[in-house]
Amino acid sequence: MELTITKISVDRDHVLQSSFTTSEVTVPVGATVTATAQIMDGGNILPVNASFRMPVTASDGREIVALAQFVDGVAEIAIPFGASGIWSVAESTINRALPPEQQMSFAGVTVYVVV
């Protein structure tokens, strides 16, 4: 299984001060970043209907946790970034609380929150 980010967006108030791809995002403090994610298997979306906690870690050790609610294998995950830092979601963090049979590959995403 693979977790794939298919779209990144930034709230309307901060979009003009931001830049983003599906793997790297730069936003000002206070922005909310929304990621659309799919659970894939063999090129097909798995019709998973479940939620799991998605840890987002900062380079200095801080952590926030978002809820990823999947409906038919697709989720929109909105995370408000209230503090400056380099934040990331990595394969190791999304899998750390999942049993081995549910673990996924994931390319990761990094969010640079600037003042």
The model's confidence at residue 32, banded by pLDDT at 50, 70 and 90, is very high
Joined tokens for residue 53: 């906690």
User: Quick one: how many helices (H) and strands (E) in the chain?
Assistant: 1, 11
Element (DSSP H or E) covering residue 95: helix 91-95
Task: Please check the confidence at residue 97 and state whether its pLDDT lies above 90.
Answer: no
Looking at the 3D structure of the chain, how many domains does it have?
1
> In which band, very low, low, confident or very high, does the pLDDT at 84 lie, cut at 50, 70 and 90?
very high
pLDDT in tens, 44-77: 999 999 999 999 999 999 999 999 999 999 999 9
On average, the pLDDT of the chain sits at 96
Q: Assign residue 60 the CATH number of its domain.
A: 2.60.40
Domain that holds residue 33: 2-114
